[in-house]
Structure 1
Amino acid sequence: MFAGFLKVVDRCEACGFDFTRLNTGDGAAVFVMQIAGAPVVFGALFVQVAYNPPIWAMLAVALPLVGGLSLGLMRPGKGVMIALQMRNKAGQSHHG
């Protein structure tokens, strides 16, 4: 389904489905920011209040964690957005 990290192929090699009709836009990125950001931010806030570590230690843990979660969830998130559009027949004309 993907030609690169996030670039979607024009057509499915197996069934010939035309992916050019679908447009996920930034939908996946918005969901990934919420999913990856919320636990890291609230976890960092809890650790800061409970243990008061130095800020460099917080950044050394939180930044790679949110970066890794974001990159790891972006491709599955985009795949889910495409699957939802396919299921709901988005991009198809209802004329006739």
Structure 2
Amino acid sequence: MPGQKPDQKGQPPVARAALFGLCPRCGAQTLFDGPVKFASHCRVCALDYSTYNVGDGPAAFLTLIIGALLIVAALTLDAVARPPFWVHILLWVPLTAAAVVYGLRVGKAALLAIEHQRQAAEGRKLDGPHD
């Protein structure tokens, strides 16, 4: 019936699954097998993560957003405090790396959780004539 949600017992909300790398089915923290690499499957409920097609869409978009925000922050710091160049290097290089890696984890996990909750799959051709 329209408007009814499917049974999502045990499934974490998308935001929590994305922030903490939780399995979209059971909620265990088993989604990642490296900094931004998905595990092959959930070690608790055996959900196969390789069936989801998250792709690299979030990577470029997220990196551009994080880069723009950090450039604005660096220029603001430079205009206000005028620190030496080495301070910029010590501050912004690790902050950029950490923001991109964590942002990719959150973005990819959110897309996988949304795919799972909406049971998204590749398009299929319908049988029979259609206009």
Normalised by the length of structure 1, the TM-score is 0.70
- Work out which structure has the larger RCO, using CA pairs closer than 8 Å and 6 or more positions apart in sequence: 1
Higher percent of residues as helix = 1
The residue that corresponds to 2:107 in the other structure is 77
1:20 aligns with 2:59: no
SS in 2 for 1:3: coil
Query: Partners of 1:22 and 1:10 in 2: how far apart?
Result: 11
Deviation at 1:93, TM superposition (A): 5.4
Query: Partners of 1:4 and 1:47 in 2: how far apart?
Result: 33
**CA spacing shift, 1:47–1:3, aligned 2, 3 Å:** closer
Query: Partners of 1:14 and 1:92 in 2: how far apart?
Result: 26
Q: Does the Cα contact within 8 Å between 1:29 and 1:74 map onto a contact in 2?
A: yes
Normalised by the length of structure 2, the TM-score is 0.55
Q: Does the Cα contact within 8 Å between 2:35 and 2:101 map onto a contact in 1?
A: no
**CA spacing shift, 1:11–1:53, aligned 2, 3 Å:** closer
1:39 aligns with 2:57: no
The residue that corresponds to 2:85 in the other structure is 55
Aligned-residue identity in percent: 28
SS in 1 for 2:121: coil
Deviation at 1:55, TM superposition (A): 2.2
Provide structure 1 residue ranges, at least 5 long, that are not aligned to the other structure: none
Structure with higher Rg: it is: 2
Query: Partners of 1:95 and 1:12 in 2: how far apart?
Result: 31
SS in 1 for 2:40: coil
Runs (4 or more) in structure 1 with deviation over 6 Å come to none
